[in-house]
Structure 1
């Protein structure tokens, strides 16, 4: 049996709890925790400031586990923020890796991390293996492009095992050992469906719907064109945290556009299922992503119109692709006229892309079983 130390990158376990375990890091952590073939699991949060403890979370997040073979470490330092300067970041991650090696005999332990700098500096000889789980291209973290590119180069040179959500990330990192395990969903999350928010249920006419963080990765210019092109009875609805409001000011001024803050995840899934068409209008530079939303849209049974990027291709006949720079409205209106996915198609899609299958592929790529 193998031991696994899984060091998260950029998002803590509590961050995952807050969004309903929606993203792959917490999905994998939960499955590692519950996997009887893994003898010991240590889940490690990214390094956070001691000052965070002065503002305790209310309500407190559930514990990772009460099983003594499943530990959860929350390393701390005094300074706030994710370090983006090379020497500081390397020092912090080397110190963390040394602490993790001191937990016990690691010749039977695989270190898996989603932090590229930790993967770049980890002592290969101190572990059975070191794996980098790339669930995003972290060069997009503000101020981190040069640091993360350096880490990618080191990961390739030092022959770290890379498991990534898209072929684009594999290509960017350039590691000899690499596997693609795309994002996934949990079929049980869709049943029974939650009630729609009152404001959504009151919307008149058809809805083109986007769910997710509202940031620069979205092709706002394409959405502005879509708002102008849609017939008067349509509404363009965007739901999610407004992370870069300056990018969306023009869109918010359109009379047929509604931008709403994040809703609880069950309600978001219900809105996806009720939408006339769901959207993934991403910019071409996001090709390294494996957007969770496209799997959730299709798992909810909605037709999808997405930017034509590699991670979107071949998922479903109900996912229409639009070349970057082309107008979305023709495909949105065509998708609205097509028959929706049948119940059998939806259930088949959920089963094929469920995390039960994704995790087995991930585990095989990381620890070989």
Structure 2
């Protein structure tokens, strides 16, 4: 590792390094952590997991669970722990005390690593809003979702709103995957939009062999990739599938809410397949005739930068999407319609676009690389002169 000058502390939000590795380092925080570890300009970096309850950590260690962290000079993984309260408290004062203690734990880890004046890059809104890390020379918040509209954590919405207020008032720089998140935080300091991207190495090279299960699906095949939960408009997908029995709709991903698939049960041209590894996913998207962003329109989805859309286009598939603000102006091979139930009327136009030729596909990959996205975040983090608020 070359001797760069930067000292960085990075925190995940609610997931850990283990989680990132097990899902293939695919989400924006995962990619940021990996980029910091690999960056030769970074002398010392601490990757910090969120708080964990000590009995849970002990149980995991007893069965030797955990992903290997890179054994490199100046690269450290830390796991702050607590003895009391398995879950975050709802009381505002107790919650603030919890995250100030977490910030203090990070400061101790930084001192142990020999960091003198580190910068803090956090993807956790409560760390950004409440931790008050006086040991950090600069704090940058990276928003991958709008937590104030995240359904699974609605009990903490008031805390997230307060965290946003404090982030804004502090003048802290903010990077987020969509303009909507930046607007909802309304930072008084610099704010930049950094959409999702693609890993160049995954999408170049000869076309991979199509998985046997996908090759057996009758074409044309329209693919939706992602966790099957309440973001997916399953009722709209059912309308599409019944209106266009000549196409196959493939729902590819972990089914987090099985009941949510009830509207498509028994429809012969809907194929539900479990999540696959990255290599197989790339092979599917480099063969699919079309791809879908079949989301409900909600405050959460209106603020998302759908990673799937960038990977669809990197694979060469034209995209049919609901009209969400972050989907506008991504690429002219994205067709936007108001609702998923209206998709059937746009299928012929989608298929007429065809798969992108290699020159165009590779140009999209190069122009939307994670490397270019990270450059914008690191410009904020290191307060480089070419950053404007």
Deviation, 1:130, is: 1.2
The Cα of 1:82 is off from its aligned counterpart by 5.6
Equivalent positions of 1:271-350 (< 5 A) are 271-285=284-298, 286-324=301-339, 327-350=342-365
Corresponding residue for residue 43 of structure 1: 47
C-alpha separation between the residues in 2 aligned to 1:52 and 1:107? Answer: 29
Deviations 1:232-283 (A, max 9, x none): 2321110111112222212233222121221112111211221121000122
Change (3 A) 1:324 1:85: farther
Question: 1:115: how far off?
Answer: 0.7
Q: Residue 96 of structure 1 aligns with which residue?
A: 102
- Indicate the residue corresponding to 2:73 in structure 1: 68
Query: For structure 1, which runs of at least 5 residues remain unmatched after alignment?
Result: none
CA RMSD of aligned residues (A): 2.1
Match of 2:365, SS state, is helix
**Residue matched to 1:217:** 231
Deviations 1:309-340 (A, max 9, x none): 12111121211111236600122221112232
Aligned to 1:328, the other structure's residue is in SS state: helix
Going from structure 1 to structure 2, the CA distance change for 1:144 and 1:321 (only over 3 Å counts) comes to same
Task: Give yes or no for the alignment of 1:165 onto 2:177.
Answer: yes
The runs of at least 4 aligned residues of structure 1 exceeding 6 Å deviation read: none
The alpha carbon displacement at 1:114 in A equals 0.7
1:186 to 191, 199, 214: 199
Of 142, 149, 154, the residue aligned with 1:133 is 142
Q: Is 2:233 aligned against 1:228?
A: no
Work out the CA distance in 1 between the residues paired with 2:226 and 2:216. 21
2:373 to 333, 339, 358: 358
Task: Answer whether contact 1:106 1:127 (CA < 8 A) is retained.
Answer: no
Task: Look up the match of 1:155.
Answer: 167
The whole-number CA distance in structure 2 between the counterparts of 1:316 and 1:8 is: 30
- How many Å separate the matches in 2 of 1:242 and 1:144? 25
Measured after TM superposition, the shift of residue 81 of structure 1 is 4.7
Say whether residues 1:203 and 2:217 are aligned partners.
yes
Q: Please identify, of 292-301 and 54-63, the stretch whose mean Cα deviation from structure 2 is larger.
A: 54-63
Q: What's the TM-score once normalised by structure 2's chain length?
A: 0.88
TM-score for the superposition, normalised by structure 1: 0.93
Whether contact under 8 Å (2:204, 2:362) holds in the other structure is no
Name the count of aligned residue pairs.
Answer: 367
SS in 2 for 1:61: coil
Distance, in Å, in 1 between the alignment partners of 2:194 and 2:233 is: 26
- Structure 1 position 300, deviation (Å): 0.4
